[in-house]
């Protein structure tokens, strides 16, 4: 996550200094780069990749890890800016950075996926893609699926933009939470309410999830922004001054031991959880998982040189974490286009092909789209950048409007032959 720090604090052992080199758009807080958090992103996206390939029943919990990380990092940046500017936060600049971070790669994904669905995909993929594409561009895929009663866990895998529900949740959080923080930090008296609001909001979100969890279909509580907000808000809570001061009193060895214990506990929960039928999942399990992840993230920020921090900060995991956004965007359409029927084989052989192609697409998207826009290449600056974004959005609109919709009944959906992943979607 990009952050400007005119006078950064010295980086403790195990963290990279706030360098001006390429690739600096990674997890930072308080003016320093926290390398273990890159590794957490890498583990999160690996969990999702293998879950969707049908090999890791608890891998979907990687999405919750993304949520907690986002809440922690975004709130840290907002509070730091408020401290540097005596309570002021430039919201327009914040949203511009978020748009620069999220929209270009997403726009390219939508256009390319629509074209591929039209050119080589079965008609049902194209039909649903044309229906869902505008909602994906508006960052509201989750509410579109909820309102249309598109089952998350039990429906056939026919939605190439189905995984974008989580991007919608994050974007909606980026719209609302900065407004709350900006309103509270203007005065010293109300600034103390930030952790209170985060904690109360997280508990209210949990209560709403428990109240709305009814029947076998949990799509409403799994994809609803209100019922998933606790993950983001628990991360936000850990970035507030009172919590950070309390954790700063933890000695290095104790912090390292707690990091190891939390990492092992979270890993065990991932391996013991198998989809939506896990006991207690929607009645407190997800909340406790997010709380453990939030504590782990805060402790890693405090003790990045602990054994767990050094492991998570290793080069392979950091590299995966750096490309995690584009990797997450591209993997699901690839999984659906390359079904067992199309490839002619399944199992681990197919998984190897899917993961390899997803990695290639993710790293190419990062190098060719994400990084040039985030780091303001010439074509992405000023008027050129505005024109580029307008053209990209026009292309998305044109693709959704002018691509011919498939004829009804052109080819039927055979639920027994989709074979792209487990019945649970992203």
Question: Any idea which residue has 């019922």 for tokens?
Answer: 227
In this predicted structure, the answer to whether residue 21 has a pLDDT above a threshold of 60 is no
Phi-psi region of 274 (alpha: psi -120 to 50; beta: other; left: phi over 0): beta
With respect to residue 29, please indicate whether it lies within any of the assigned structural domains.
no
In this predicted structure, the answer to whether residue 146 has a pLDDT above a threshold of 50 is yes
Say which residue, 123 or 235, is predicted with more confidence: 235
pLDDT digits (tens, 9 = 90+) for 337-346: 999 999 999 9
Segment 153-165 mean pLDDT: 82
With respect to residue 393, please indicate whether it lies within any of the assigned structural domains.
yes
Reported as a pLDDT band with limits 50, 70 and 90, residue 158 is confident
With respect to residue 45, please indicate whether it lies within any of the assigned structural domains.
yes
Q: Supply the pTM of this predicted model.
A: 0.87
Whole-number mean pLDDT of the chain?
A: 85
Phi-psi region of 280 (alpha: psi -120 to 50; beta: other; left: phi over 0): left
Reported as a pLDDT band with limits 50, 70 and 90, residue 214 is confident
What's CA 134's distance to the chain center, in Å? 20
In the chain, % of residues over pLDDT 90: 62
In this predicted structure, the answer to whether residue 393 has a pLDDT above a threshold of 80 is no
Segment 20-45 mean pLDDT: 70
Six token digits for residue 7: 């006078």
Q: How far apart are CA 306 and CA 171, in angstroms?
A: 32
With respect to residue 2, please indicate whether it lies within any of the assigned structural domains.
no
CA torsion sign for 20, 21, 22, 27 is negative
pLDDT of residue 6: 33
Q: Are 238 and 282 in contact (CB under 8 A)?
A: no
Among 227, 178, 191, smallest CA distance to 73 is for: 178
pLDDT of residue 386: 66
With respect to residue 362, please indicate whether it lies within any of the assigned structural domains.
yes
Segment 46-64 mean pLDDT: 94
Among 110, 23, 99, 92, smallest CA distance to 385 is for: 99
Reported as a pLDDT band with limits 50, 70 and 90, residue 399 is confident
In this predicted structure, the answer to whether residue 403 has a pLDDT above a threshold of 90 is no
Reported as a pLDDT band with limits 50, 70 and 90, residue 416 is very low
Q: How far apart are the first and last CA of the chain?
A: 24
Please classify residue 53 by burial: count the beta carbons closer than 10 Å to its beta carbon, then call 0-12 exposed, 13-18 middle and 19+ buried: buried
With respect to residue 320, please indicate whether it lies within any of the assigned structural domains.
yes
With respect to residue 141, please indicate whether it lies within any of the assigned structural domains.
yes
pLDDT digits (tens, 9 = 90+) for 358-373: 999 999 999 999 988 8
> Counting every residue, how long is the chain?
426
Q: Are 56 and 272 in contact (CB under 8 A)?
A: no
Segment 277-305 mean pLDDT: 94
Residue-range definition of the domain harbouring residue 216:
37-402
Q: Are 3 and 80 in contact (CB under 8 A)?
A: yes
pLDDT of residue 91: 93
Segment 158-181 mean pLDDT: 95
In this predicted structure, the answer to whether residue 22 has a pLDDT above a threshold of 50 is no
In the chain, the number of structural domains is 1
Report the chain's C-alpha Rg in angstroms. Answer: 21
Q: How far apart are CA 380 and CA 261, in angstroms?
A: 44
In the chain, % of residues over pLDDT 70: 84
Reported as a pLDDT band with limits 50, 70 and 90, residue 12 is very low
Six token digits for residue 47: 């969990």
Segment 195-219 mean pLDDT: 93
Q: How far apart are CA 265 and CA 407, in angstroms?
A: 50
Segment 88-93 mean pLDDT: 91
Q: How far apart are CA 335 and CA 352, in angstroms?
A: 11
Q: What is the DSSP string of 180-213?
A: HHHHHTTSHHHHTHHHHHHHHHHHHHHHHHHHH-
DSSP 16: B
pLDDT digits (tens, 9 = 90+) for 301-336: 999 999 999 999 999 999 999 999 999 999 999 999
Say which residue, 18 or 115, is predicted with more confidence: 115
With respect to residue 14, please indicate whether it lies within any of the assigned structural domains.
no
Say which residue, 57 or 384, is predicted with more confidence: 57
φ, ψ (nearest 5 deg) of residue 33: -90, 130
HSE, CB side, 13 Å, CA atoms: give it for residue 264. Answer: 7
Reported as a pLDDT band with limits 50, 70 and 90, residue 86 is confident
Reported as a pLDDT band with limits 50, 70 and 90, residue 412 is very low
């Amino acid at each position: 996550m990009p952050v400007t720090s005119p006078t950064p604090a010295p980086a403790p052992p195990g963290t990279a200094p706030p360098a001006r080199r390429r690739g600096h758009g990674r997890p930072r807080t308080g003016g320093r780069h926290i390398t273990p958090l890159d590794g957490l992103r890498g583990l999160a996206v690996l969990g999702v990749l293998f879950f969707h390939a049908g090999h890791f029943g608890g891998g979907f919990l990687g999405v919750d890890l993304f949520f907690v990380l986002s809440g922690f990092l975004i709130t840290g940046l907002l509070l730091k800016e408020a401290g540097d500017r005596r309570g002021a936060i430039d919201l327009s600049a914040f949203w511009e950075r978020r748009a620069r971070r999220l929209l270009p790669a997403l726009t390219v994904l939508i256009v390319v996926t629509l074209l591929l669905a039209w050119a080589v995909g079965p008609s049902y993929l194209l039909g649903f893609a044309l229906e869902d594409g505008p909602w994906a561009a508006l960052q509201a895929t989750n509410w579109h699926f909820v309102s249309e009663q598109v089952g998350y866990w039990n429906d056939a895998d026919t939605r190439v933009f189905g995984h974008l529900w989580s991007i919608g949740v994050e974007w909606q959080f980026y719209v609302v939470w900065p407004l709350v923080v900006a309103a509270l930090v203007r005065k010293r008296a109300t600034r103390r309410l930030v952790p209170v609001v985060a904690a109360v909001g997280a508990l209210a979100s949990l209560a709403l999830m428990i109240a709305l969890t009814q029947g076998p279909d949990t799509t409403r509580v799994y994809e609803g922004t209100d019922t998933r907000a606790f993950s983001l808000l628990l991360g936000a809570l850990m970035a507030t001054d009172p919590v950070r001061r309390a954790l700063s009193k933890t000695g290095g060895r104790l912090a390292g031991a707690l990091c190891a214990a939390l990492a092992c506990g979270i890993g065990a929960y991932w391996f013991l959880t198998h989809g939506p039928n896990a006991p207690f999942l929607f009645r407190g399990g997800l909340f406790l998982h997010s709380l453990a992840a939030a504590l782990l993230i805060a402790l890693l920020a405090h003790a990045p040189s602990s054994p767990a921090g050094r492991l998570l900060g290793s080069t392979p995991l950091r590299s995966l974490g750096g490309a995690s956004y584009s990797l997450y965007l591209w993997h699901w359409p690839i999984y659906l286009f390359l079904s067992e029927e199309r490839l002619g084989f399944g199992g681990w052989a197919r998984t190897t092909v899917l993961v390899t192609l997803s990695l290639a697409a993710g790293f190419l998207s990062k190098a060719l789209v994400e990084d040039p826009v985030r780091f303001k290449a010439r074509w992405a600056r000023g008027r050129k950048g505005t024109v580029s974004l307008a053209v990209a959005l026009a292309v998305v609109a044109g693709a959704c409007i002018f691509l011919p919709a498939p004829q009804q009944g052109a080819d039927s959906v055979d639920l027994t032959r989709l074979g792209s992943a487990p019945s649970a979607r992203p």
